[in-house]
Amino acid sequence: MASKRNNIIPNGHFHKDWQRMVKTWFNQPLRKKRNHAACAKKAAAIAAQPVTGLLRPIVRCPTFKYDTKIRFGRVNKKVARTIGISVDYHRRSMSIESLQQNLQRTKEYKTKLIIFPPKEGKPVLPLEIRFKPEKARLPTEDERNHNSCVALRQARINAKLVV
């Protein structure tokens, strides 16, 4: 099929000896082993500090789709760097609950700051998931008879009439 519109006519000049230029990856398993050994050596050297990195606050993910999910966020920027806590300049705690939760976490971290065991692979303070999904159950009679499309449409109509 012919090329359309104002484009370069394909005219490749394949004269280079490309077989010599191919990058191989045969050293991947040994590289993995070497990196793991280096990580273990570093963990032993900084045994008083957390191996997995700096302590992170708990934050809720943005947007409606993900705001039920809790994750580690990134804290007071002047103090945080001095005690090994990572700083996120853009985020602000909007709810008192999350602020208190992170304050409690930071206080707990400060109490443990010197006495961390030099074990690798475990987080400094594990993330507690407080949201528990509901177990499956049969719908009630009200739920079976409820039509959400009609209810939403009625709510929209009522909102228009109020204004």
Q: Per residue of the chain (163 residues), what is the pLDDT tens digit?
A: 677 889 888 888 877 787 888 889 999 999 999 999 998 888 888 766 665 666 667 777 888 888 888 877 655 567 667 767 666 667 676 777 877 887 788 778 777 775 455 566 666 677 777 778 889 999 999 999 999 999 999 999 999 998 6
What is the spatial distance between Cα 126 and Cα 60, in angstroms, rounded to a whole number? 16
Q: Which residues pair with 58 in a beta bridge?
A: 72
Count other C-beta atoms under 10 Å from residue 3's C-beta.
Answer: 9
Cβ atoms of residues 98 and 60 within 8 Å: yes
Cβ atoms of residues 58 and 101 within 8 Å: yes
pLDDT, residue 146, reads: 93
Q: What share of the chain is helix, strand, coil (3-state, %, to 5)?
A: 40, 5, 55
pLDDT, residue 62, reads: 83
Which DSSP letter does residue 21 get?
G
Count other C-beta atoms under 10 Å from residue 125's C-beta.
Answer: 16
pLDDT, residue 115, reads: 46
Give residue for tokens 């996120």.
88
